Structure 1
Amino acid sequence: MTWQEIFSRTGTYLTVLSAAVVALSLVANATGFGAGFQTFALLVLPVALLVGFGTYFRLIEADIEDAWLVIGMNRLRHAYIELAPELEPYFVASHHDDAPGLLKTYSFRTRVGITHWLSGSPVVVGIINAVVTGVLAAVICEAAGAGDTLRTIIASATAVATAIGLGFLGYRKVREVTRVYKARFPS
């Protein structure tokens, strides 16, 4: 169910964002990127970002919940092995509830690389949110009459700051949970 929610929430956000982009392109075509477009963009992009930020934080929470469920399954396997040790060779997933056991069950590896982390739903949604935040900053600068160079600098800085901020908040939430966790059946 957790994976279904992750995919559903991500799909919903991408649908909302796609609809916003299509609507923005239609309005841009009709108004020639004039004041009407800016007004519409200033109304639509914050709504898309609200959905995007909500999606990002829910994905972080869902990943944490999924890890707890894996820990629970690992503990159940541990109980089976305590009851019938001869079953151990038949389990392909871990029966330990520590970080290495969690990784073995998740990915059947002892460690995962950067490509595994970068391809995760929260990271992808976070990057998209950062880009949309940068675009919103550019629209705000355009509406305020900023020049091209200043608009580009502010939009880029906003996107980078958003990516760093979301990464920090996501990491802090995961770290908060892992800091207090104590494995009962370590490797």
Structure 2
Amino acid sequence: MKDLKSVDVGTPHAQFLATEHWSLLATRSMTWQEIFSRTGTYLTVLSASVVALSLVANATRFGSGFTTFALLVLPVVLLVGFGTYFRLIEADIEDTWLIIGMNRLRHAYVELAPELEPYFIASHHDDPPGIWTTYSFRRRIGVTHWLSGSPVVIGVTNSVVTGVLAAVACAAAGTGDTLRTLVGSATAILTAVVLGFLGLRKVHEVSRSYQPRFPSTEAQPSAD
């Protein structure tokens, strides 16, 4: 493969790289639009279900009609919620690959014109520190950033809805308030753990086989 350092900046190589860069930017924009759209759709469905449940509860005074309606509606809400959660995980993975692609293109820009490197805010390395630098302009992301992410918010919401569904099922079975509360809380916690495990496993499966082509100097192994 021809070394880009020996290629003139005015050649079509730079145009090809720029075209690919714009293509990745457009794809990333579509990915983020899907994330917002799916999150908004799920929250809308959840809000509408809560309003419907409140109206039925007011009409039936939390009787058997309310329990039956909740057992019919909440599974549908969870179907949309779980689908949204796993799609958000996939979208975040796709977004990471797009960042990797843009970092590699930026590395090619630096090879073509090394004097431009000080003007880049985003990274031109495709290793984890370079990915995080482009993603959030930091090499490390704190806990608050992860907790505010869409998959975590949707996952916690799904866990709460699952706990409520379990409590309603216990109420339909005629259990007491204490047992109902314990079952609902345990189901919510277990759902959160399972969703978190499945999400992390999916991310680890993708990242396990990844090898950066242009690691940063700090990430390169020492010669001794």
TM-score by length of 2: 0.83
Amino acid of the residue matched to residue 95 of structure 1? H
Amino acid of the residue matched to residue 72 of structure 1? G
What's the counterpart of residue 102 of structure 1? 131
Instruction: Give the Cα–Cα distance (whole angstroms) in 1 for the partners of residues 90 and 140 of structure 2.
Output: 22
Task: Map 1:170-185 onto structure 2 (within 5 A).
Answer: 170-185=199-214
What's the counterpart of residue 163 of structure 1? 192
Amino acid of the residue matched to residue 173 of structure 1? K
Gaps of 5+ in 1: none
What's the counterpart of residue 152 of structure 1? 181
**SS of aligned partner of 1:138:** helix
Q: Displacement, 1:180?
A: 0.9
Q: 2:62 aligns with which of 23, 33, 38?
A: 33
Amino acid of the residue matched to residue 162 of structure 2? T
Amino acid of the residue matched to residue 121 of structure 2? V
**SS of aligned partner of 1:54:** helix
Q: 1:134 aligns with which of 138, 163, 181?
A: 163
What's the counterpart of residue 57 of structure 1? 86
Q: Displacement, 1:90?
A: 1.2
What's the counterpart of residue 20 of structure 2? none
Amino acid of the residue matched to residue 102 of structure 1? I
Q: 1:91 aligns with which of 120, 123, 127?
A: 120
Deviations 1:11-56 (A, max 9, x none): 0000000000000000001111111001100000000000000000
Instruction: Give the Cα–Cα distance (whole angstroms) in 2 for the partners of residues 48 and 116 of structure 1.
Output: 27
Aligned residues: 187
Instruction: Give the Cα–Cα distance (whole angstroms) in 1 for the partners of residues 120 and 142 of structure 2.
Output: 24
Instruction: Give the Cα–Cα distance (whole angstroms) in 1 for the partners of residues 87 and 56 of structure 2.
Output: 31
Deviations 1:77-113 (A, max 9, x none): 0011111111111111000001000000011111011
Instruction: Give the Cα–Cα distance (whole angstroms) in 2 for the partners of residues 40 and 79 of structure 1.
Output: 59
Q: Return the index of the structure with the highest Cα Rg.
A: 2
Amino acid of the residue matched to residue 145 of structure 2? H
TM-score by length of 1: 0.99
What's the counterpart of residue 120 of structure 1? 149
What's the counterpart of residue 222 of structure 2? none
What's the counterpart of residue 75 of structure 2? 46
